[in-house]
Structure 1
């Protein structure tokens, strides 16, 4: 690739001769861009019987002109003419000069007639065709021969012929360019420093050249990045005294020229987007915000005049969103390549340096920053419930950037921001925000206000997802008591509180308490809301999970099949609740030993969650872990290990090493290591899991017992029978106390202990336990 565009090149008219070339040579430090050059050579060397037109388009500073100059240097055209296409006047002047040089007249039309009548291999290079108001077609020769190259920031010019986007350089070429311009040798240390620099400059050729020029003057390659971080605007606006080409603009000034051509609305939109993440920007964010109807705890419309006034530019006469108006404005920005659009995803993006530049030119950032924060908050308020999870994943990077730029800027929409964190799986951030919301609501509205109870319930759910079940239960008991007193026991909000508390009882291992509450909730929901209501289906799924916890797998399967059928019908196969229902049914198939059925469902859930939520979302990782466990159950331990190592890495990074999902991932991987007969690895992980579960959940929690049983199995399999026996006796005793003799987990504990007795030669104890197992199974 090369170093920069050569827009606004200064050139003189060459004298007439056998071969005219009005183009300067490329920069002496031109680098790379071989893929583009190869395609251009292939295109122009193919005899298509038609006029060859090739368009290079892209951001200012990406190096379009230099590519063309390098291509011309490597080619052999009969006559080559460079036309400055920035204005109508310069186009006409260039064509008139062509006519004079060829002695065919002195007008634009004379030049065009000469091109149309001349069948030699001529080339006209229309450089810097950036103004979207100029109709370039008026200046193209109307014939079926000849060669034309156009460079532009405007992607609309692709319609003239073959085209290619010119973007950032390949890393190796960028490194070479930086070191050449900086006059530094390619030592190991310099290569390392150069790599860090070009990454920070996002491989933009002109930025790299400017950085190299500064480093050359300062002799400070080691310290450039520190200076750049604190003086970015100055360094990217500085023109070096010594240059390797005729390009007269700096990185920032070349974009300023384009920015100055934008209308007020287009310029404002670009700068608003500079407070979002530079990728994943959508029209929906703005259109959804335009529908804002404030809830009681959110700012009234009167306090949001600036964002509402901006959004009004895209509304129709009756106040509805007008996509065509939004398209007109984004097309205006796209015409200068200051923003890009991916038709496949329907998302906009901004080059990271343009993104930083558009924010840096603001003298007073606070009003636009506040405006964008409000628009995002208004958008979140209006997101439909069935879209909140995938939308949260898309909005999270924007929330993070806004919070980083100004933590107080999103204060008015804390509850909505907490909702995004929660649904994107960022539970710790959700907890921090939810605690602020509850504190504020208690202070302003009082302990019994419905909004305070909502905040309390949301915080409890976040505690639950962070594995802090005791904290969750304390809040949920309080919420249930208050809602029952204020609203009555049949109110939907009371039933929701009851269901949340029941789920927490399940997490705490109190399955019988959970079952009693969930049966009550399902009965009331069915009677009050109907059997197809989403809350009824949620209650049905929750009860099915509790049946599984109690070992009543057939009951669980019947309910889960029904829930899945209804969700598919009512919500569609990609809805988060449908995917949850599929995953729940798969877990029951696993409990029933139907692993092939489980695998098919779990593959489906994993694929859909990856597509909808991304590969790092906790729900996706849970699906991946479930699939891995099924692979292990099927004896496919290698497949299981590959997935489980990845799940554990991601869970540890995203949720922390003490989160229940992380501990589950650790336990699953340990089980797979046992299957692979890597017992030492398995033991190390299982000892760690047991220590953490005991500390975090207590010795009687089901997860702690499961960790104990897993470690005992590994001791047994690896020949440490005495250690296995000690753990298995404790597990059996606790299972009997909490689950009863008939629970599958209790029976499994008996079978494991009987096996260990046999291996220890304790025949009498083994036979006694085997008889007990036999008698218990008869009663099932």
Structure 2
């Protein structure tokens, strides 16, 4: 403003300040007028109505002894060829023709404050949107109004408060007045969270200016001027998340009502009645009708449309005010639930559109039981993709029951419902409940559709996936090979379903420890998905993550890290920080940091993953338990064994309860706890656990499975600690031979086996054999991991100790 008004004196200058009620437009204008001395006369004009304008100009005429009418005031301004200033304040009425009250002359200065952004047209190059304060200035304003010193502690408290208030100036001023009155800076945030509506309606006893409206009343006055359709649209939007509301919701829903007739619930009739406002005379969606209603709300800055993204935004406090003042929340929410249900496309091409709707669905439908039965499948799919599997399960169970009753057990729609419920059970870790559903789906599809039908192959792949989760990899492998061959034959090498089959088979190979067979499959999948789907598609990112996982198993961590960082960054951008796929990417990167010896970086990621999974999935979800186990492993590496033990006992108990004693994840928890017992010197407790783990792995996975070999190595380590070196050596030789055969000489697990055997031989004084083994370990770790990796450094240290022992023995 100072820059603009310093240019071209003696000419008419107009500057427009527009923004949400309570954003401080008038205060900005008054502050500017205080800061400048060039204006000879300054007049405050109430622009809220024609009557108020006429009164203001009449007062100008009287004050300048020029007459007692509004015309006299205008005439004086025309005749006064000096730098006078008019402040047209609160020019909010969109029907008001403000220009008819401008003095008809080429000199003078005009400042306009308004909630209506369209008034920016009066100053095409001289207007400014007055939004929220930045956090630092908002905190300073709060402390000033609260009459509090600017100490470090007070500043931190103030920052937390202004963030909660979204930095809206009027809300901050009101909060400051309340704090000053009740001396409650420390406790204000908790008081506010329990009494938001009451506090935002309060007017300070000692206001800092003559602004008479509270935060809520300033918006209520604007709201009352909206047409019924505009008011209802604003209320419906207030039930969604406050930002990035797709305008396409209303377009798609309107198209739905034009294509669907039938018996309707009251809430469906309510939705149809509202959406009819956007139907053109020709009987189709009218974007112009909708734009007109949005523009009406924008005239009061209660909503903002984003042209580039075709979305709507509400200020967080406007959103809170509007959602908390609904006259009939139950009916309005039911109406909007139906509107959104009409827009959900469960087709594969609409994935990103559904992802963008997840935050809105979570806000709109806190309880899945309120969903209209017409939209059970749509909302279940949304919850499923959003990681809200419990909600999805409830709707899928209802949907399956209805399909069985209406269509019978063999109908394709019933089989789809059964498959969807089984997939949800898998995500909840309830694999044993998923298995019979999937066997039933597969048998029915083989019978009705034949072996080669895409739906049959999908059922086969799903069952194989469940076998994989149950640790029954040998049952999964032939199913997946069959699926892949049939898809290659009928769909071709590049079809998404073929690539998915290839990825599934690679995953099974990874679980079977056949990493070199998995790698070429995964490279092929990634290249094809990058080519066909692009770098950011979820399937491309999943392929990248899978390849990174295989590189990890092959000990190629430097190839792993850049892939995992890329996956994490892209998922955070596309899905948000809380999405299950984002958290998987974060956990994978943490695991790589662990392998690279960067334990503190790993710990920070793992704590974040655990907290988010506990919040969104619950304490007993398989993914939460996996996050807990990962954090415990990092605590172990950092030497914090007691913290690790508490986490691992909890993980083991939950897995025994929900997965059973023989599940691979249960056995992994048991093995992890045994390792912690080892570190705590509780060797006999560790031995009992490890014997149990080894026997179960040998029974269910076979002698040469990676998990079996890991269990054997752990038991050998415990025998070594107990001084039972001969028993340890027998086991370690077996582990080393199997790993050399299955993984190769350079694999990290092979080198660990070699180092463990060397340690046992060292304890029996066989230093020459030890040196030979350790020389190999050091050389290979330098090549594979680098000279600075903790494992390389430890191997070098062990070799030095052996060589010192050899020298002493020779002496």
Q: TM-score range by the shorter chain?
A: 0.7 to 0.9
Given candidates 416, 440, 455, the residue that maps to 2:378 is 416
The CA deviation string for residues 283-309 of structure 1, in whole angstroms up to 9 with x for no partner, is 122223344399999989999565455
Which structure 2 residues correspond to residues 11-160 of structure 1 after superposition, within 5 A?
43=3, 53-69=14-30, 72=33, 76=37, 77-88=39-50, 90-91=52-53, 94-95=56-57, 98=60, 101-102=63-64, 106=71, 110-111=75-76, 113-114=78-79, 117-118=81-82, 120=83, 122-134=84-96, 136=98, 147-158=109-120, 160=123
- Distance of 1:150 and 1:673 partners within structure 2: 61
The DSSP-based 3-state class of the residue aligned with 1:59 is coil
Structure 2 length as normaliser, TM-score? 0.77
Using the alignment, how far apart are the partners of 1:227 and 1:651 within structure 2?
Answer: 28
Instruction: Decide whether aligned partners of structure 1 residues 299 and 726 sit closer, same or farther in structure 2, where only a CA change above 3 A counts.
Output: farther
Determine the C-alpha separation between the residues in 2 that align with 1:584 and 1:293. 43
Conservation of the 8 A alpha-carbon contact between 2:78 and 2:105: no
Unaligned runs of 5+ in 2: 743-811
Residue pair 1:747, 1:773 contacting (<8 A) in 2 also? yes
In structure 1, the residue matched to 2:348 is: 385
Report the equivalent of 1:501: 463
Residues of 2 paired with 1:452 and 1:534: CA distance?
Answer: 25
Whether the aligned pair in 1 keeps the contact of 2:471 and 2:701 (CA below 8 Å) is no
Q: Partner of 1:292: helix, strand, or coil?
A: helix
Per-residue deviation, 1:175? 8.0
Instruction: Return closer, same or farther for 1:296/1:53 CA change in 2, 3 Å cut-off.
Output: closer
Alpha carbons of 1:457 and 1:777: their partners in 2 closer, same or farther (altered >3 Å)? closer
Match 1:341 to one of 281, 305, 321: 305
Check conservation: 1:729, 1:753, Cα contact below 8 A: yes
Kindly report which structure 2 residues correspond to 1:748-759, keeping only aligned pairs within 5 A, or say none: 748-759=710-721
Which residue of 330, 338, 344 corresponds with 1:374? Answer: 338
Relative contact order higher in (CA < 8 Å, ≥ 6 apart): 1
Aligned-pair Cα RMSD in Å: 4.5
Q: Counterparts in 2 of 1:257-276, with a 5 A limit? A: 257-276=221-240
> CA shift at 1:626, angstroms?
0.3
Taking the TM superposition and a 5 Å limit, the aligned residue runs for 1:769-780 are: 769-773=731-735, 775-776=737-738, 780=742
CA contact (8 A) 2:5 2:13 kept: no
**Distance across 2 between alignment mates of 1:471 and 1:682:** 31
In the alignment, the residues of structure 1 paired with residue 712 and residue 201 of structure 2 have an alpha-carbon distance, to the nearest angstrom, of: 76
3-state secondary structure, aligned to 2:614: helix
Q: Distance in 1 between matches of 2:283 and 2:174?
A: 48
Structure 2 SS opposite 1:471: helix
* Alignment partner of 1:522 out of 472, 475, 484: 484
- Establish whether residue 620 from structure 1 lines up as the match of residue 585 from structure 2: no
Tell me the CA shift for residue 383 of structure 1.
5.1
Q: Aligned pair count? A: 727
User: Distance in 2 between the 1:393 and 1:594 partners?
Assistant: 33
Deviation at 1:375, TM superposition (A): 1.2
How many angstroms does 1:643 deviate by? Answer: 0.7
Instruction: Quote the Cα distance in structure 2 between the aligned partners of 1:293 and 1:261.
Output: 29
In the other structure, the counterpart of 2:572 is: 610
From 324, 330, 354, the equivalent of 2:294 is 330
Name which of 666, 670, 673 aligns with 2:628: 666
**2:777 corresponding residue in structure 1:** none
Structure 2: distance between partners of 1:536 and 1:299:
42
Q: Residues 69, 587 of structure 1: CA spacing in aligned structure 2 closer, same or farther, 3 A cutoff? A: same
Q: Structure 1 residues 144, 690: closer, same or farther in 2, change over 3 A? A: farther
Question: 1:123: Cα distance to partner?
Answer: 2.5
Q: CA deviation at 1:705?
A: 2.5
Judge conservation of contact 1:99–1:114 (CA < 8 Å) in 2: no
Aligned-partner Cα distance in 1 for 2:582–2:273: 39
What is the CA-CA distance between 1:444 and the residue it aligns to? Answer: 3.3
What is the alpha-carbon distance in structure 1 between the residues aligned to residue 192 and residue 607 of structure 2?
Answer: 40
**Is the 2:12–2:108 contact (alpha carbons within 8 Å) kept by the matching residues of 1?**
yes
Are 1:165 and 2:127 matched, yes or no?
Answer: no
Pair 1:138–1:209, CA change in 2 (3 A) = same
CA contact (8 A) 1:92 1:108 kept: no
Q: 1:691 to 1:268 in 2, by over 3 A?
A: closer
Conserved? CA contact 1:392–1:421, under 8 Å = no
Alignment deviations for residues 217-267 of structure 1 (CA, whole Å, 9 cap, x no partner): 99999999999989969x988999998865566666654543454345433
Aligned with residue 548 of structure 2, among 579, 586, 589: 586
**CA distance change for structure 1 residues 75 and 470 in 2, over 3 Å: closer, same or farther?**
same
